Structure 1
Amino acid sequence: MIKRELAVFLVVGSLTVLIDFLTYRGLVWSAWMDVDLAKAAGFLTGTLFAYFANRVWTFGQQAHAPGSVWRFALLYAITLSANVLVNAGCLSLFSSVSITVQLAFLIATGVSAVLNFLGMKLFVFKASASTEKS
């Protein structure tokens, strides 16, 4: 079960990044928004997709669970903070490496992806007691 969830989570994550990027680029290209607003709109569009796709496809919750939106928002705030802090720490730690920025980005993204998966599985979309018994 966890292997399937992890595989679907990675697909959803990849699609989320693609949706964020395409929305951002489309809004900038069409000149509907300035760059900063377009980036915010892209991120929010990707985040909405991630919530619904992970709820339904990754963790199999067809119906809305009360409180899941707030738990999701809290998780994203925590993992965003972790991403930024890990990135900053890695930039400092690996300052002498020629690919410091890329390395820091990959490590920070990996840490936040693991935290997101665990947070969604154990906190946001955790199985209810009745679902676990069946």
Structure 2
Amino acid sequence: MIKRELAVFLVVGSLTVLIDFLTYRGLVWTGWMNVDLAKAIGFLTGTLFAYFANKVWTFGHQEHAPGSVWRFALLYAITLSTNVLVNAACLALLSTMSIAVQIAFLIATGVSAILNFLGMKLFVFKSSDLTEKS
């Protein structure tokens, strides 16, 4: 079961990262906001997609799981903060590199992805909330 969940989570995560990255880079490229705010907006845009895709596809919850929305919001508040802080730290450390933005993005995304999977599996969509559907 965890192998299937992890595989689907990686697909959903890849799509989420694509949404995050395109939003982030678009906002930075247009100059509409600073890098940190653009990173947060990109992350939150991907979050909307991630909640519904992981709820239904990854963890098989067709119905609303009581408390899942606030648990998801708490998890994402924590991982958003982590993501933005790791991104900023990496940008500071890698400031002389021409691909600093891309490397910082990948590292920040990797850290938050690990935290998100564990948080969703063990906290947000834990199997005791609903009977899992096949």
Q: What is the distance in 1 between the residues matched to 2:101 and 2:90?
A: 8
Rate the CA distance shift 1:112–1:56 in 2: closer, same or farther, 3 A: same
Task: Output aligned runs, 1:28-43, within 5 Å.
Answer: none
Q: What is the distance in 2 between the residues matched to 1:83 and 1:10?
A: 17
Could you tell me how far 1:68 is from its partner in structure 2?
0.2
Amino acid at match of 1:76: Y
Which runs of 5 or more structure 2 residues have no equivalent in the other structure? 27-31
Q: What is the distance in 2 between the residues matched to 1:129 and 1:52?
A: 16
Residue of structure 2 in register with 1:12 after alignment: 12
Please say which of residues 52-61 and 105-114 is displaced more in the overlay.
Answer: 52-61
Residue of structure 2 in register with 1:66 after alignment: 66
Task: Output aligned runs, 1:21-60, within 5 Å.
Answer: 21=22, 46-60=46-60
What is the TM-score with the length of structure 1 in the denominator? 0.70
Which runs of 5 or more structure 1 residues have no equivalent in the other structure? 26-34
Amino acid at match of 1:119: G
Q: What is the distance in 1 between the residues matched to 2:107 and 2:54?
A: 22
Rate the CA distance shift 1:110–1:47 in 2: closer, same or farther, 3 A: same
Paired residues of 2:82 and 2:112 also in contact (CA < 8 A): yes
Structure possessing the higher radius of gyration over alpha carbons: 1
What is the TM-score with the length of structure 2 in the denominator? 0.70
Amino acid at match of 2:57: W
Could you tell me how far 1:42 is from its partner in structure 2?
7.9
Amino acid at match of 1:79: T
Rate the CA distance shift 1:43–1:109 in 2: closer, same or farther, 3 A: closer
Q: Which has the higher contact order (CA 8 A, sep 6+)?
A: 2
Could you tell me how far 1:131 is from its partner in structure 2?
4.8
Amino acid at match of 2:116: N
- What's the % identity of the aligned pairs? 82
Please say which of residues 87-96 and 2-11 is displaced more in the overlay.
Answer: 87-96
Amino acid at match of 2:89: G
Q: What is the distance in 2 between the residues matched to 1:117 and 1:126?
A: 11
Q: What is the distance in 1 between the residues matched to 2:122 and 2:88?
A: 27
Q: What is the distance in 2 between the residues matched to 1:41 and 1:96?
A: 25
Q: What is the distance in 2 between the residues matched to 1:51 and 1:123?
A: 13
